[in-house]
Structures are given as C-alpha cells and as structure tokens.
Structure 1
Amino acid sequence: MAFHEQLSAAVDGQRGTAAADRLCEACVTLLGVDAAAISLVLEGAATGTLGASGTLARECDELQFTLGEGPCLDSVRHRSAVLAVDLADPAEVRWPVYRPAMLDLRIRGVFAMPLLVAGEHVGALDLFRAEPGEIHGEQLAGAIAAAEIAGIPLLDLLDTDLRAAVDDPRSDAWAELNALSRVEVSQATGMLVAQLGIDPAEALLRLRAHAYADGRSASDVARDILERRLRLEAH
C-alpha cells in the first residue's frame, strides 16, 4: 500500500484534532522519524499546534513559537519544504537559537512541509529525527502526502465551528480553533503592555526571552503572568 493510502487509512473515521494526532503518529511509524507535529502559522508566527505524535513533538513545536524561529515558520514564509539533515553540522547556520535548543532535546534532523488550505499557506507538517540524515525518495513523497492530508482536520474544525456559529448565535464561535491557539500569550502580552508601558512587539519579545532564559515554554510563562505568579520588571 502506498504511503498516501496508509496515511489516509490512519485518520479514517477521525475528525479534527483527533485526526491530526493520528496523522502525526502515522508519520512516525511510516516515515522513519521520531516525532511529528502540525503547526498553525498566522501572520508569520506559530500560533498553535493542530496535532502531535506525543509530548516531544509538542515541545519541539512550542519552541518555534517561544523562540520565534524554526523550520515551520520558514516553510510557510517561503512556501516550500525546509529540510535540515543535521543540526549539529557547523555549516548549518539557520535558527541560531532554535538549533541548539533542539540539540538539547537530542534532535538532529528537522523537516517541514507547508500546509496549504484554500490556496493559503496556514501551517506546516514538522518531522523530527534523533539521527542525522536526509529524507528522500519514498519518505519525502510520504511527507508531502501527509502535509496534503493535514489540511483535512483543519477544514473539519473550520466547518464545525462555522456550523456552531450559524446554528447558535450565542455560541463561542471558533471555540476549538481558539483553544488550539496560544491565546494566553496574547493576553499576557497585553498585560505587559499596560504594566511596563512598552509596545506589543517588545512585550512579546520580553515574554519569549524570559521563557527561553528559564528553559520554559512561552505558554507556561504567559499563564504565570496572567495568574499573577510572575511579574516582569521594567528595564
């Protein structure tokens, strides 16, 4: 059975985020990688994780948001696959902050395939591998097929939320998509703007820098700010 059929079979009967998770798990099984995630990207920023094969995949994806750089962002920006066969190679100079963070997680290879929905590049399928090496031939074809299939769970969510909004005007429209996005980071950024008297871009940078310095995710730091367990000081 070809990779496309196997990947499609893996998500058969599933919808939304469940289908996205199953697709990522199938990528790990079929494509010879150690983790896989589907990133959502809006206006140049990684805004959420649609699906993941496990905890490691979610951590790798979250790092791209926390650090503001990584293969999924480049893949959407350039509208093409991004392949890094060995992050430990001295000649690999992309992602000066993300790269060492990934090496700390013992990830050597990263591959991102853009996710196209309704003519728009809205995210990427990210594959992570502990061992260095190229992804080519049938594996590369399988990764491209998986990125194509990944658009289906996102369309499911859009359809579900749109129907809910139409059927009940009082519903929380786009609830599931909003749940996927890192809305707490946006809220915490707004708090920092008010508290420190800085612009939103600097506030987000400060939040991300604090998260990186503490070895935590931006989402975790944002929750601490919102729950007033953490207050960043003005410089």
Structure 2
Amino acid sequence: MVGSAPGTERADALCVTCVGLFDVDGAAVSLVLGGASSGTFGSSSESSRRMDEYQFTFGEGPCLDAVTSGTSVLAPDLDAPQEQRWPVLRGALLEDGIRGVFAVPIMITSVCVGALDLFRSRPGPLDGVALAGALLAAELASMPLLDLMNEARDLADREDAPVCSTDHLEDPPVEADRVEVYQATGMLISALGVDADEALVRLRAHAMATDQTASQVARSIIDRRLMLDRDDRGTTGDGGRSRR
C-alpha cells in the first residue's frame, strides 16, 4: 500500500494482498453510507467488483449487515441448509461459484463507513490467523478512504470546481460509482411518471429479473438500448441476461 498511489490504486493493492494472505479468491472494499451501498471502492479483480456490486443491486448482503451491526459477518457456507440470510444475493453468489463470504466493518474514527468483503469458492471458515489478518486489513482500508474523502473535501473548497463532472478526478467522489444508476433513475422518473424510490425499485427489479447488475441495466437505459415501461416484466432491449 505504501508503494501505491493514493486512492483506488491503494485500495486495489490491499484487496490483492488479502487474496494472497488469507486463502480467499476475491476481496473488495465496499462503501456503505446512510445504510445503503454507495459503491465498490477497491477490488482484487473485476469479478470481485461485480460480486460486491450485487449487494447494491439486491439491497442485501454481509457488508450491509456488518456496517449496521459494527461487527464482522461470517458466512462460511452459503449452500448450507441452515444459511437463510440474503436469499437473492446468496443465489447469485452460488451461481458465480462462491461458497463463503466474510465482511469486516471499516471504521473511520467512530463511524462505520463500509466493509472489507472476502469471497471464497469453497466452503469453510476463516481460521484464527486469517480472521485476525482481515481485521487488520479492514483497519488499513480506512487509509485509501481517507485519501478519497480528503480529495473530495479539497474539491468542494475550490470555487471553480465543476458541480457535476468527475472526469478531472483520478478517484471520483464517493457516490460517483453509482452515477449511472442515478442518471438512469432520473430518466425513468421522467418516462414513467413515478417518484425516485419507485424508479429505483423498478431498475433493481429489472436487473434481478434479467440476471444483470443495476449498473448494467442503467448503462442500457442511458445508452437508450432499453427503456422500461409500466408493464415491464423483465425483458431487456439489448438481449442481455448474463451477469458476465
């Protein structure tokens, strides 16, 4: 992390290192603000980023529970009969070959702002050493998040800073990872005559019905390859039914 550039590169480096040290197959740093997933800040791979994004798409998952409780959430075997948490997310992760998922809260001062998510393709608990390491890694994850917050604060202090564009930033503000979803939601509000909450529900429902992430559906709407209507039942204008 010391040898990496501040921000996303540092967060990605931490996630890659977690995979090498803790005998897991993927890792991601998930931001959770106001009780909702606000983006994937760092990841060990694109597949890990996609798996973390499912939690935003489905509105459930260990990272959200870890932030709410302020404690680690461990699911060593998603396919176990007694595992009944996150039914929609669990099905998506199992389909992607993930059997275990672990989330450790990330604290900045006394505020929980996200979680370090670890994914494993086989069932089994994190052993004592790996769990202790994950707790330390979650502490280190606060460093790149502070980088981002400091950059966003500096940007806000600039009188000439653009209000909407984030292209000038190496690491965009916290919620920029969801800008496409918000843009698509706005288009649905106008097209369907619904409020913001219903528009987002419809977008997420379409994502689940067509086996996509919310961001994939949003991009299709923004590109005008897809527009939902009041009678939408999960068909997609670009023919996409794959997460991959």
TM-score with structure 1 length normalisation? 0.90
- Where does residue 224 of structure 1 map in the other structure? 220
Q: Work out the CA distance in 2 between the residues paired with 1:226 and 1:164.
A: 27
Residue 39 of structure 1: CA displacement?
Answer: 0.4
For residue 92 of structure 2, the aligned residue among 101, 109, 130 is 101
Give the share of equivalent positions with the same residue, in percent: 52
For residue 194 of structure 2, the aligned residue among 191, 198, 205 is 198
1:124 aligns with 2:115: yes
In angstroms, what is the RMSD of aligned CA positions? 1.5
For residue 12 of structure 1, the aligned residue among 2, 25, 44 is 2
Moved over 3 A (4+): 172-175
For residue 85 of structure 1, the aligned residue among 68, 76, 97 is 76
- Where does residue 161 of structure 2 map in the other structure? 171
Residue 78 of structure 1: CA displacement?
Answer: 1.3
Q: Work out the CA distance in 2 between the residues paired with 1:206 and 1:214.
A: 12
- Where does residue 138 of structure 1 map in the other structure? 129
Q: In structure 1, what residue type is equivalent to 2:161?
A: S
SS of alignment partner, residue 87 of structure 2 = coil
Q: Work out the CA distance in 1 between the residues paired with 2:31 and 2:70.
A: 14
Over 3 Å counting, the alpha-carbon distance change for 1:169 and 1:226 in structure 2 is: same
Q: Work out the CA distance in 2 between the residues paired with 1:47 and 1:179.
A: 6
Q: Work out the CA distance in 2 between the residues paired with 1:234 and 1:119.
A: 44
Q: Work out the CA distance in 1 between the residues paired with 2:67 and 2:147.
A: 21
- Where does residue 110 of structure 1 map in the other structure? 101
Over 3 Å counting, the alpha-carbon distance change for 1:78 and 1:62 in structure 2 is: same
Q: Work out the CA distance in 2 between the residues paired with 1:226 and 1:197.
A: 17
SS of alignment partner, residue 97 of structure 1 = helix
For residue 213 of structure 1, the aligned residue among 209, 213, 217 is 209
